[in-house]
Amino acid sequence: GKLHYDLLAELEKHEHAEKFALVRLEQYYPLAEQAITDVVNRYPHAEIVWVQEEPENQGAWPFMLMELAPRLPLGRTIRVVSRPASAATATGSSKRSAAEQTDLIARAFAL
């Protein structure tokens, strides 16, 4: 979705862009385990980060935590970058939403 393109635009401006790889997962179920493993194995020393716009307790993250994390190659873990857990998907304020989006992108590229 839109977040991928926001991350891509930010990556193009990032001074350490070569240290990052964006991988977009188009289908969650059934999980393309072999394809994901192949991509993860291309970057054996990379930190794996799941980035989503939705709050941590919503969106795809809970599913990825249950289904993807246990299937990662031995010793690999996954970290989430998302909005804080919330009962609502929307913040109710466009200014707050924009600030959270900026923070989300910054945390996605934190080394």
Candidates 107, 105, 101, 110; CA nearest to 7 is 105
**Tokens standing for residue 4:** 């991928």
Q: How far apart are the first and last CA of the chain?
A: 24
pLDDT at 111: 67
Query: Which whole number is the average pLDDT over 89-103?
Result: 84
Question: pLDDT by residue (tens digit) across 26-43?
Answer: 999 999 999 999 999 999
Query: Which whole number is the average pLDDT over 75-88?
Result: 92
55 within 8 A of 86, measured Cβ to Cβ: yes
Q: What is the pTM of this model?
A: 0.90
Q: Round to whole Å and give the CA distance between 34 and 82.
A: 25
